[in-house]
C-alpha cells in the first residue's frame, strides 16, 4: 500500500471517528442559551466592579447608575452591530453571538487599554460562556440521558468554569505582593563597595512637628476645613484657562465647590522642632483620579526630612487632576501645577516675616528645593523655569514676579512634554537637578526625566541623573 493510500485511509478513519463521537457530545440549543446567560452574568459583575472603581467623585449611587446605564446602552448597540455583521456573513446564530460579544465588550472597556482589555474580555467570555453552557446542559439538556463521553466532557468543562471564576475572584481580591521582587538579590560581584557612611533612611536628631494649612472651607477635604492651623487665601488661575468652558468646567465646579478663579492653597507640613532657620522643601503628587487624594502619601518622607532639619510641605493639587467628567485642558493644567508651587512659596515668604506665625524666622528662604512625582516631577521643573522669567511663556499678559532661591529640583519618575513653554523645551539654569526612575512604574515606564535635562536646560556640572 502506497504512502498516499495509507494517508487517505487514516484520514477516513479519523473522519468516521469524529462523526460518530460528535453525535454523542453535540451541544443542544440549551448550550447557546446558557452561554448567553453566562456572558450576561459576567457583564453584570463587571457593572458592579465598575460602579465600585469608577470614582467619578459624585458618590457610589451615581457611579453605579452610570455603569448600569452605560451597560444597558452598550450591550444592545453592540448586539445590533454584531447581528448586522452576521446578517451580512450569514454564518453564525446572530442574536446569541451578539449578546455574548456585547457582554464581552463591557468587560473589555472596564480593563481600559485594548492591549489588556481585549484578551481579558476573551478569557472572561470563554470561561463564563462555558460555565453557563454547562449549567444549561445540566438543567435542560438531558444530561442524565446523555452518553458517558458527553457527561465526562460537560463535567470537566463545568469544573473548569468554576475554577476560572475562583481564580477571577482571587485576582480581584488579591492586592499583589512584592515578595518576589524584594527577595531577588543581584549577584554579589555586580554590587558596588559598601560606603562607610550614615544610613540616609534613618531618622535624624530633630523632634518632628506637623500641621496643615489651607483655605478652611474645603467641602471635599475635611482636613482642610475649619480645623487647619493656618488659613490661606485662594488664587485666581482663570487667565490660564480662558478656553476652558462648557459642561466639563461646570462638572469640576459642581464637584469641588469652586472654579478656577478660586484655587485653594492647601498643604500638609512636617517641620523640625527648634529655632531654625531650616531649608524648605515643597513636594507635589502626580496625576490620578481626582477623588483619590494622595498628598498624604509623602508622610514617610516628611517625617524623615523633618527629623534631619528640613521643613517639608506636601502640596495638595488634587483639584487639578482628571476624572471621568472632570478633565481640565492638559496644557494649562500642567502649567498650573508648577505655578501653584510658586504661589505656595509666596505664602512661606510672608509667614517667615509675620508676627505670631509658627514659622516666623524658621524658614531658610535661601535654600529651597522642589520635588514631585510623575506630573508633579514635571511641575517642579516648570516652577523652577517660571521662577526666573517675567511672563507666562504662552501669554505675556500674565506677569510673573517670583525670583525665589530655588537651589534644587528632584523629579521622581517625571512626565515630560505634558507642558512645553511656548512649545519649546523647558529651560532652567543654576539649579541642581536630580531625577529618579523606577523599574516598575506603571505609568511612566521609560526614563523621561533623563532627556528632559541637558546643556540647554540645566548646567551639566550640577545635574545628577
> Are both 244 and 320 inside the same structural domain?
yes
Distance CA 291, CA 232 (A): 22
> Are both 345 and 449 inside the same structural domain?
yes
> Are both 293 and 169 inside the same structural domain?
no
> Are both 129 and 46 inside the same structural domain?
yes
> Are both 214 and 77 inside the same structural domain?
no
Chain-centroid distance, C-alpha 239: 29
Pairing relationship of beta strands 234-235 and 263-264 according to DSSP bridges: antiparallel
Per-residue pLDDT of the chain (465 residues; tens, 9 = 90+): 566 677 777 888 887 777 777 777 777 778 778 888 888 888 888 888 877 777 777 777 888 888 888 888 888 888 887 777 777 656 667 677 777 777 877 877 776 666 677 788 888 888 888 888 889 888 888 888 888 888 888 899 999 989 988 988 888 787 777 666 566 677 777 778 888 888 888 999 999 999 999 999 988 888 999 999 999 999 999 999 888 888 888 888 888 889 999 999 999 999 999 998 999 999 999 988 887 888 889 999 999 999 999 999 999 999 888 776 666 667 788 899 999 999 999 999 999 999 999 999 999 999 999 999 998 999 999 999 999 899 999 889 999 999 999 999 999 988 887 888 888 877 788 899 998 887 777 677 777 776 655 444 443 333 333
In a domain, 187, yes or no: no
The set of cell numbers assigned to 123 is 478569557
Distance CA 39, CA 46 (A): 11
In a domain, 325, yes or no: yes
The residues near 235 (Cβ < 8 Å, ≥ 6 apart) are 262, 263, 265, 340, 343
> Are both 271 and 160 inside the same structural domain?
no
Count of structural domains, the chain: 2
Pair 337, 287: CB distance under 8 Å: no
The set of cell numbers assigned to 219 is 467641602
In a domain, 186, yes or no: no
In a domain, 178, yes or no: no
> Are both 255 and 144 inside the same structural domain?
no
Domain boundary residue among 173, 190, 218?
Answer: 173
> Are both 212 and 151 inside the same structural domain?
no
> Are both 84 and 130 inside the same structural domain?
yes
In a domain, 200, yes or no: no
> Are both 254 and 349 inside the same structural domain?
yes
Distance CA 251, CA 264 (A): 18
In a domain, 432, yes or no: yes
In a domain, 201, yes or no: no
Range of the domain at 369: 208-464
Domain boundary residue among 149, 173, 197?
Answer: 173
What CATH number did the domain enclosing 455 receive?
Answer: 3.40.50.1820
Q: What is the pTM of this model?
A: 0.68
Phi-psi region of 441 (alpha: psi -120 to 50; beta: other; left: phi over 0): beta
What's the pLDDT at 465? 35
Domain boundary residue among 173, 197, 232?
Answer: 173
In a domain, 96, yes or no: yes
> Are both 272 and 158 inside the same structural domain?
no
Whether the upstream peptide bond of residue 346 has omega within 30° of 0, thus cis, is no
> Are both 167 and 262 inside the same structural domain?
no
Amino acid at each position: 500500500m502506497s504512502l498516499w493510500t495509507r494517508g487517505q485511509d487514516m484520514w477516513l478513519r479519523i473522519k468516521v471517528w469524529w462523526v460518530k463521537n460528535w453525535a454523542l457530545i453535540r451541544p443542544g440549543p440549551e448550550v447557546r442559551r446558557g452561554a448567553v446567560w453566562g456572558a450576561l452574568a459576567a457583564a453584570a459583575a463587571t457593572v458592579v466592579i465598575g460602579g465600585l472603581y469608577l470614582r467619578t467623585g459624585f458618590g457610589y449611587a451615581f457611579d453605579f447608575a452610570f455603569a448600569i446605564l452605560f451597560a444597558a446602552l452598550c450591550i444592545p448597540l453592540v448586539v445590533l452591530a454584531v447581528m448586522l455583521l452576521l446578517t451580512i456573513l450569514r454564518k453564525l446564530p446572530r442574536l446569541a453571538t451578539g449578546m455574548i460579544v456585547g457582554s464581552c465588550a463591557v468587560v473589555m472597556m472596564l480593563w481600559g487599554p485594548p492591549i489588556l482589555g481585549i484578551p481579558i474580555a476573551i478569557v472572561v467570555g470563554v470561561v463564563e460562556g462555558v460555565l453557563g453552557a454547562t449549567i444549561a446542559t445540566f438543567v435542560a439538556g438531558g444530561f442524565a440521558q446523555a452518553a458517558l463521553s458527553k457527561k465526562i466532557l460537560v463535567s470537566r468543562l463545568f469544573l473548569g468554569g468554576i475554577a476560572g471564576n475562583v481564580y477571577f475572584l482571587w485576582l480581584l481580591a488579591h492586592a499583589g505582593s512584592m515578595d518576589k521582587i524584594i527577595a531577588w538579590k543581584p549577584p554579589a560581584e555586580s554590587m558596588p563597595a559598601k560606603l562607610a557612611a550614615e544610613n540616609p533612611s534613618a531618622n535624624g536628631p530633630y523632634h518632628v512637628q506637623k500641621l496643615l494649612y489651607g483655605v478652611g472651607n474645603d467641602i471635599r477635604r475635611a482636613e482642610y476645613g475649619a480645623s487647619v492651623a493656618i488659613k490661606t487665601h485662594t488664587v485666581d488661575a482663570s487667565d490660564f484657562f480662558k478656553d476652558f468652558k462648557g459642561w466639563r468646567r461646570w462638572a469640576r465646579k459642581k464637584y469641588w465647590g469652586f472654579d478656577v478663579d478660586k484655587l485653594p492653597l492647601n498643604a500638609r507640613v512636617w517641620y523640625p522642632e527648634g529655632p531654625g532657620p531650616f531649608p524648605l522643601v515643597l513636594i507635589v503628587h502626580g496625576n490620578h483620579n481626582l477623588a483619590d487624594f494622595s498628598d498624604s502619601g509623602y508622610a514617610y518622607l516628611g517625617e524623615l526630612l523633618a527629623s534631619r532639619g528640613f521643613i517639608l510641605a506636601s502640596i495638595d493639587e488634587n483639584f487639578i487632576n482628571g476624572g471621568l467628567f472632570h478633565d481640565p485642558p492638559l496644557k494649562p493644567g500642567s502649567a498650573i501645577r508648577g505655578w501653584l508651587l510658586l504661589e505656595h512659596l509666596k505664602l512661606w515668604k510672608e509667614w517667615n516675616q509675620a508676627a505670631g506665625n509658627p514659622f516666623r524666622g524658621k524658614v531658610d528662604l535661601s535654600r529651597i528645593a522642589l520635588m514631585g512625582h510623575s506630573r508633579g516631577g514635571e511641575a517642579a521643573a516648570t516652577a523652577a523655569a517660571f521662577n526666573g522669567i517675567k511672563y507666562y511663556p504662552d501669554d505675556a499678559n500674565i506677569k510673573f514676579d517670583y525670583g525665589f532661591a530655588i537651589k534644587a529640583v528632584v523629579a521622581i519618575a517625571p512626565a515630560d512634554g505634558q507642558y512645553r513653554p511656548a512649545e519649546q523645551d523647558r529651560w532652567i539654569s543654576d539649579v541642581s537637578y536630580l531625577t529618579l526612575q523606577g523599574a516598575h512604574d506603571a505609568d511612566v515606564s521609560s526614563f523621561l526625566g533623563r532627556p528632559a535635562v541637558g546643556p540647554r536646560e540645566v548646567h551639566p556640572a550640577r545635574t545628577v541623573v
